[in-house]
Amino acid sequence: MIRTRGLTHVALTVSDAERAFRFYERVFGAVATYRERGLIQAQTPGAWDVLVFEEHSTRAKGTGGIVHFGFRLMSPDDIEAAAAEVRDAGGTVLEQGEFVPGEPYLFCRDPDGYEVEIWYEIPTSADPR
């Protein structure tokens, strides 16, 4: 087994890299760490994640599909604020509820149509300390 920091990188085909970045900047506090024409690499503060927004006129073929990807809240009390931020940033809330008591979630679409999950999960034994 190799040691990693877990799944930390998602590259997305988008129609407008700046617009895509602004959504994630507003909703999750993403910070641009690299920019070139048609491409922005971003991270959320305090995390090891990397989101890459690559401008292409069509989606990549043969790479499979992304059903959704998620951002885990630090507090279950933040779910309503997350829904408001999604709407204010130009996204659409698709569904909102609780998986089990104490684990609220929402699914939304970003401006390019990617489905994003925002949820709180009761800590597990696999969580970092």
pLDDT of residue 2: 65
- For 54-57, which contacts have Cβ atoms below 8 Å and span 24 or more sequence positions? 54/11, 54/12, 54/13, 54/14, 54/17, 55/13, 55/14, 55/15, 55/16, 55/17, 56/13, 56/14, 57/15
How many CA atoms are closer than 13 Å to the CA of 96, on its beta-carbon side?
A: 13
Residue 23 lies in a domain: yes
Residue 129 lies in a domain: no
pLDDT of residue 66: 77
Question: Which neighbouring-strand residues pair with 50?
Answer: 9
Cα 83 to Cα 102: distance, rounded to the nearest angstrom: 17
Residue 82 lies in a domain: yes
Q: What mean pLDDT is predicted for residues 104-111? A: 95
Residue 72 lies in a domain: yes
Q: What mean pLDDT is predicted for residues 82-89? A: 96
Residue 53, number of CB atoms within 10 A of its CB: 27
CB 41 within 8 A of CB 17: no
Residue 44 lies in a domain: yes
Q: What is the mean pLDDT of the chain?
A: 89
pLDDT of residue 124: 82
The CATH number for 16's domain is 3.10.180.10
pLDDT digits (tens, 9 = 90+) for 54-77: 998 776 555 556 778 999 999 999
pLDDT of residue 96: 97
Residue 124 lies in a domain: no
pLDDT of residue 7: 81
Residue 92 lies in a domain: yes
pLDDT digits (tens, 9 = 90+) for 13-41: 898 999 999 999 999 999 999 999 999 99
Domain ranges, residue 46? 9-57+67-119
Number of domains making up the chain: 1
Residue 74 lies in a domain: yes
User: Is 104 buried (19+), middle (13-18) or exposed (0-12) by CB count in 10 A?
Assistant: buried
